[in-house]
Amino acid sequence: MGENGVNISPKDPRYSEIVEFLIQEAELLDHGRFSEWLELMTEDIYYRMPVRVNRSRSSGPDYTEKTEIFSENRASLGMRVKRLGTDFAWSESPPSRTRHLITNVRVRATANPKELEALSYFLVYRNRTNSSSADILSGERQDLMRKTEEAWRLAGRTILLDQVVVGSRNLSIFF
Amino acid sequence: MKAAKSTSAKKRKSVRKETGFAPDLVRTGEGIINPRIFTDPEINRQEMERIFTRSWLYVAHESEIPQPGDFVTRTMGDDPVIVWRGQDGKVRVFLNVCRHRGRRVCVEDMGKAVHFKCPYHGWTYGNSGQLISVPFFEGYQGKLDKELLGLYETPKIESYHGLIFANWDAKAEPLNDYLGEAKWVLDLLFGRTQGMEVVGPPMRWEADANWKLAAANFAGDGVHLFTTHGFRSALGLADKLEGERVSYRLTTAKGHASALSGFKGNYCMGLPEDLQAEMRRHLTEEQLRIMGPLLIIVGNVFPNLSFLSSGQHTSEEWGGGGDRDGLVSFVTLRQWQPKGADKMEVWSWCFVDKNASDGWKVASRESYLRVFGMGGMFEQDDMENWVDVTQALRGPIAKRLWLQYKMGLGRSHKERPIPSLKDVKDGAFSEDSERAFYRYWQQLMAQRV
């Protein structure tokens, strides 16, 4: 993922704008402000999570887009958010407690001057019900950021978790 | 009457003494089950032996390994296996354990190989399982017989519509007999067109839940839909399909069960016209007649292979559309792999009709992952139930109570609503499918291997 392109300098104002965006976004996710989270997205957003596979290095990438846990657009993300707002979203009722820790941000130019590629690592902590143990999900995101008239918006996100067998009963949270 | 009762009590006692399993934890005649079967590690240990070493277990679909050398790695109960197509085109299933010192000889999930070399000491096996070479072989001075130390192969492997099943029991009945009338239902999904193909590798995840809760739920629990998946109604999604309900329930003596349901009309799982035309060539007239109103086909092949096809409107608000009246359906297979009494690993695959248009394939796959799989809006809540049940039943008081599976007991039914099937009844809501699952489970558990 995202091996091409040159990182823009952290001193470039666009770098801090993107970091600021990602941190604000994490705040919305961790505080259950999902409708506001949706507002950060462009109308044509894609939101994908391919599965990981165990393969030798010579056999190709260790993930596959043939199977995806998420392959969403704006409308389907909207439906997921609406669902969470009902009293029947049992997987999030009461809600999970999450922390999205976003690090190792790299921002790269793309062919489109209005768009940047933002790569980041995440560590998502998820705790539910009365268990003291938690799901700890790490991985990386490859985001496509677009500067609109209002502000930076998320135009695309591909998420790679670091587990083939995902250690969580479901993924009713967002990344 | 009294005498008969005491004889069966005596029998239960002797089964318990001989096998260490108390058969009266499951009382399908009364429609009650003791929670211990979901939480007791000893019962789990027994079921790994008694269920998983002598049942036909699903291992792969032929479309996953189409060419000679293609393999996937899977598990049969607790045992790791390789499903491998030999140079001769024949599929075999091997225990993924080196005959020398027990390391897995194949550590990839899928791929193509003419041989596997054990990463420990280098014993090398060909893709019909034969032991080809052993480093420093001369050091054994003739005491090692390579002929006898090929990869350990399941004595039985058979397939139905490309679904490959294997069995460790050399005396097992043929798959055909084992599946029985469940084949008729599998036809509606896997035999309706020229063939189904797997969309990609499975999603895999772990949940702290007993595997049987999932298998029995898929066997035909239609009631949970209205509460567990109540968000559908809350968001007004359930009202789009309504009418006079049409339902059938299959329950077989081998523990397989299925529920078919829909509404009067011609929905045919939302399949597009080209696939329906193909279907008319592959299914019987009776199957076509039943398919007409169907919107849900769900079931479980005993022990742990569940199948589901479900049609729904994927209008704009769901973020995608089929190409027929906004209705689209998907086909999924899922396997509940026990990992102890209180944990399972879920494997979930999506299938599409090989000859379907690209547009239908995309819509079908997307409708699957929106509602099933790890992130699916239905499956999320199913998992929450099964984890919660497994945890809540741990205490000694909870285990004194009995869980209720009485719905449909003693109900009278229309004679053979599907004339060619003797194991099918009409009606949407019953717990007969769970009773069928646990009845056969109990039967196997009460016999030592």
**Which of B319, B365, B387 shows the shortest C-beta gap to A169?**
B387
Beta carbons of B205 and A168 less than 8 Å apart? yes
Q: Which of residues 157-196 of B touch A (CB under 8 A)?
A: none
Supply angle C-alpha B215, A169, A36, rounded to 5.
130
Rounded mean pLDDT of chain A?
95
The C-alpha atoms of residue B295 and residue B293 are separated, in whole angstroms, by 7
Q: Is B373 on the interface with A (CB under 8 A)?
A: yes
Report residue B446: phi and psi, to 5°: -85, 10
How many other C-beta atoms are found inside a 10 Å radius of the C-beta of residue B168?
23
> Which SS3 state, helix, strand or coil, does residue B14 take?
helix
Rounded to 5 degrees, φ, ψ at B30 are: -95, -10
Phi, psi of B74 (to 5 degrees): -140, -175
B231 and A83 within 8 Å at the Cβ level: the answer is yes
CB contact under 8 A, A55 and B110: yes
Position B427 confidence tier, pLDDT thresholds 50, 70, 90: confident
Handedness of CA B103, B105, B106, B107 (dihedral sign): positive
pTM: 0.95
| B179-229 pLDDT per residue, tens | 999 999 999 999 999 999 999 999 999 999 999 999 999 999 999 999 999
Q: Mind giving me the DSSP string for B209-249?
A: S-HHHHHHHHTT--STHHHHTTHHHHTT-GGGS-SSEEEEE
Task: Look up the ipTM and state it.
Answer: 0.95
Q: How far apart are CA A87 and CA A166, in angstroms?
A: 27
* Distance (Å) from the alpha carbon of A156 to chain B's nearest alpha carbon: 15
Cβ proximity of A155 and A148 under 8 Å: no
Contact A55 B374 (CB under 8 A): no
Is the minimum CB–CB distance between A9 and chain B shorter than 8 Å?
no
Asked if the model's pLDDT at residue B48 lies above 50, the reply is yes
Report the pLDDT value the prediction gives residue A163, as an integer from 0 to 100: 98
Name A17's Cβ contacts closer than 8 Å, sequence gap at least 6.
A152
Cis peptide before B35 (omega within 30 of 0): no
Confidence check: pLDDT of B313 > 90? no
* Residue pairs spanning A and B at CB distance below 8 A: 134
Residues in chain A closer than 8 A to B224 (CB atoms): none
Q: Least CB-CB distance to B369: which of A71, A83, A89?
A: A71
Q: Could you tell me if A57 lies within 8 Å of chain B, comparing CB atoms? A: no
Q: State whether residue B316 sits within 8 Å of chain A by CB.
A: yes
Within 8 A of A64 by CB-CB distance, chain B residues are 200-201
**CB proximity A132 to B under 8 Å:** no
Task: Say whether B319 and A72 touch across the interface (CB within 8 A).
Answer: yes
Contacting residues of B for A164, CB less than 8 Å apart = 109, 204
How close is the nearest chain A Cα to the Cα of B399, in Å?
21
| pLDDT (tens digit per residue) in A47-78 | 999 999 999 999 999 999 999 999 999 999 99
Per-residue pLDDT reduced to its tens digit, B393-402: 999 999 999 9
User: Would you call B229 an interface residue with chain A, using a CB distance cutoff of 8 Å?
Assistant: yes
Looking at the complex, does the CB of residue A51 fall below 8 Å from at least one CB of chain B?
yes
The whole-angstrom separation of Cα A173 and Cα A92 is: 8
